[in-house]
Amino acid sequence: MQTERPLEERVEPASEVRDVRRTTCCVVGGGPGGAVMSLLLARAGVDVTLLEAHPDFDREFRGDTLHPSVMEIMDQLGLAESLLELRHSELRNFTLQTASGPFTPVDLGDLKTKFPYITMMPQTSFLEFVTREAKRYPNFRLVMGARVRELVEDDGVIRGVRYESEDGRHEVRAVLTVGADGRGSRVRKLAGFEPVKTSPPMDVLWFKLPRKKEDPAGIVGRFGRGHIAVMLDREDYWQAGYVIPKGTYPEMRREGIAALRREFAELIPEYADRIRHLKDWQQMSLLSVESSRCPRWYRTGLLLIGDAAHVMSPVGGVGINYAIQDAVVAANVLSEPLKESQVRLVDLDVRHLAAVQRRRELPTRLIQRAQALIQQQVLARALRSKEPFSPPLPLRLLLRIPVVRKIPSRIVGFGFWPVRVKE
Ligand SMILES: Cc1cc2nc3c(=O)[nH]c(=O)nc-3n(C[C@H](O)[C@H](O)[C@H](O)COP(=O)(O)OP(=O)(O)OC[C@H]3O[C@@H](n4cnc5c(N)ncnc54)[C@H](O)[C@@H]3O)c2cc1C
């Protein structure tokens, strides 16, 4: 429903609020989803304010993958070339060594795209790049160190947020507030949305291991007795992931770091010398694997995108891809209505927000269903196995058929529904 807002609507700041600023769209969270959505809206001429809780974009182990679909989106914006000038490596396939030999469920090299690989780039570099581009538009404002605490609500309509920064509390009033604040989204909680969770059977420990110049490029992956190890080539170091049965981390800690080193070295003996560098639990980050989806992603004046709307299992590493695809669809659908609301001072029709969820919910459900299948049929079995593990024979045979082999690569590379920026 569209309701007219009085032209000279007076804003009475709450006593402790230092100032009140207006914008058309207030994006909460400068992760991949929020940053890309802000850039696209700014580029389309919408006034955008992006609020990021952290004082910088420095992140460790937050997913440093840009899939072919993201690179195609950057290419459409004319930014792929300059993005690829930043330090990165390329990952063309996922090959895991199993008890029955190498198993390659995903080979992006076969895809018809200018970017048949996953671009491995620190998320910090990507976010700095995207926000630098957005800053070229005078209608874009970035506030770092701005932690959103409250929603501004008026008669059931969300009209902005209050945030805290070093110098006190501030208010931003907006036609649309976008919750892009990640898996623990405060905006989602404040708006009263409860995600439906499923619990994947594993957790992942991430840590860095030294890399030598002569080491092979790409990915090293192994299925072992009750564990899975992966090592991703990050040029200067290996990003190692150790997949463990869900909830067993406290038990691992009791057993001690020497036991972890021993098991990892058994799985990847050729890198046994590197694992010695792991001396302290502080060197590791635990990813408590979660998969969830909000039944509803919007309310009048508010939209959730990315992890705030749906947390993805790490299978296929599609979280960033999906957050950015949400951002593109949201910007495609909302740019014109937001500009209209900017000019005419009218509220945003909630049907536009519903359209964003409608377009993104099915691809999200489908990928989560596919991830659950892989978790049950492959990962849970591998983690239960007391013997060196091999993926089920029917799956291995199926993936030998060329047409079938392309399906997982396509889904990982582009998702279930390729997305393009509307010009
Ligand atoms: C350890 C780990 C490894 C991962 N590996 C991969 C991978 O290899 N590939 C992949 O695709 N995905 C990976 N993911 C998932 C991926 O990081 C997320 O799916 C993706 O970042 C989601 O993007 P987003 O923009 O929705 O949210 P986020 O990236 O979570 O960004 C949310 C932003 O909101 C900010 N924020 C939070 N609260 C507030 C607040 N109150 N006020 C203002 N700002 C706020 C945060 O500081 C953050 O910058 C990994 C996740 C983790 C935890």
Task: Evaluate whether residue 368 is within a structural domain.
Answer: yes
Cα 362 to ligand 1 centroid, rounded to whole Å? 21
What pLDDT does 5 receive? 45
- Given 260, 287, 314, the domain boundary residue is 287
Question: Are 134 and 233 members of one domain?
Answer: no
Residues with CB under 6 A from ligand 1: 28-34, 51-54, 61-63, 65, 146-148, 180-183, 186, 206, 285, 287, 306-308, 312, 314, 317-321, 323
Q: Do residues 380 and 201 lie in contact, with contact meaning Cβ atoms separated by under 8 Å?
A: yes
**Which pLDDT belongs to residue 9?**
45
Statement to judge: residues 41 and 116 lie in one domain = yes
With respect to residue 6, please indicate whether it lies within any of the assigned structural domains.
Answer: no
327 and 228 within one domain: no
Note whether residue 171 is domain-resident. Answer: yes
Mutate to test the pocket of ligand 1, among 39, 60, 62 (most ligand atoms within 8 A of CB): 62
Query: What confidence score (pLDDT) does residue 61 get?
Result: 63
For residue 301, being part of any structural domain is answered with yes
Q: Looking at the DSSP assignment, which residues form a beta bridge with residue 303?
A: 178, 298
The verdict on 326 and 348 lying in the same domain is: yes
Structural domain total, the chain? 2
Last residue of a domain, which of 258, 287, 316?
287
| 62 Cα: distance to centroid of ligand 1 (angstroms) | 6
DSSP 216-272: PSSEEEEE-SS-EEEEEE-SSEEEEEEEEETT-HHHHHHH-HHHHHHHHHHHSGGGH
Q: Which is the closest atom of ligand 1 to the Cα of 326?
A: 26
Is residue 162 domain-resident? yes
- Say what the pLDDT of residue 13 is: 53
Contact 98, 4 (CB under 8 A): no
pLDDT (0 to 100) of residue 94: 79
Same domain, 346 and 308: yes
Q: Is residue 11 part of a domain?
A: no
Residue 75 is assigned to a structural domain of this protein: yes
Strand partners, 179: 28, 304
pLDDT at 15 (0 to 100) = 57
Residues 281 and 312 reside in one and the same domain: no
The three-point CA angle 346-34-422 to 5° equals 65
Domain that holds residue 222: 204-287
Does 45 share its domain with 118? yes
Residues 351 and 332 in one domain: yes
CATH number at residue 338: 3.50.50.60
Atom of ligand 1 nearest to the CA of 308: 26
d(CA 121, CA 87): 7
Question: Considering 287, 314, 336, which residue would you say is the last residue of a domain?
Answer: 287
* One pLDDT digit (tens) per residue for the chain, 423 residues: 344 444 334 445 555 888 999 999 999 999 999 999 999 999 999 999 999 999 999 876 678 899 999 999 999 999 999 999 999 988 888 777 777 777 888 888 888 999 999 999 999 999 999 999 999 999 999 999 999 999 999 999 999 999 999 999 999 999 999 999 999 999 999 999 999 988 788 899 999 999 998 888 778 888 877 888 889 888 888 989 999 998 999 999 999 999 999 989 988 888 889 998 999 999 998 988 889 999 999 999 999 999 999 999 988 889 999 999 999 999 999 999 999 998 887 889 999 999 999 999 999 999 999 999 888 888 888 888 877 777 778 888 888 888 888 888 888 889 888 899 998
Expressed in angstroms and rounded, the spacing between residue 244 Cα and the centre of ligand 1 is 22
Contact between 368 and 310 under an 8 Å Cβ cutoff? The reply is: yes
256 shares its domain with 342:
no
Tokens of 336: 């014109």
CA of 182 to the centre of ligand 1 (A): 5
**Within this chain, do residues 66 and 96 fall inside the same structural domain, yes or no?**
yes
What pLDDT shows up at residue 8?
Answer: 39
Predicted pLDDT at 6: 41
Residues 374 and 255 in one domain: no
Among 59, 70, 181, 360, name the best residue to mutate to test ligand 1's pocket (greatest count of ligand atoms within 8 A of Cβ): 181
Same-domain check for residues 209 and 222: yes
CA 234 – CA 304 distance, rounded (Å) = 32
- Residue 7 domain flag: no
